[in-house]
Amino acid sequence: MSEEKKERIERGVRVIRLGHGANCSSIGSVIDTLFASAVIGGAVFTAITAALAREKVSEVKPSSPERAPKDKKADDA
């Protein structure tokens, strides 16, 4: 790179920030946060789905009417 071009670039630079995403715009920081939230949300959803998939399903059949407990209010009337 020529010295003239290098000086022209250096004159145009105001501030150089250090750190993760320091020189990106504010929307760039929001996108990082949204991406991280989506990943965490997906992991939580997957964990819940996996937990529900392992649950044993059992069918409960209603008892016969002869074995059903009688309602006390019906007896009192």
Residues 21 and 32 sit within 8 Å (Cβ to Cβ): yes
* Closest among 33, 52, 32 to 44, alpha carbons compared: 52
* pLDDT above 80: residue 5: yes
Mean pLDDT (whole number) for 40-44: 97
Least confident of 32-36, 44-48, 59-63: 59-63
On the question of pLDDT at 77 being above 60, the answer is: no
| CA 71 from centroid of its chain's CA atoms | 48
The mean-pLDDT minimum among 13-17, 23-27, 46-50, 53-57 falls in 23-27
The answer to pTM > 0.75 is no
Report the run of H or E that residue 27 belongs to, with start and end: helix 26-53
User: Can you tell me whether residue 6 is helix, strand or coil?
Assistant: helix
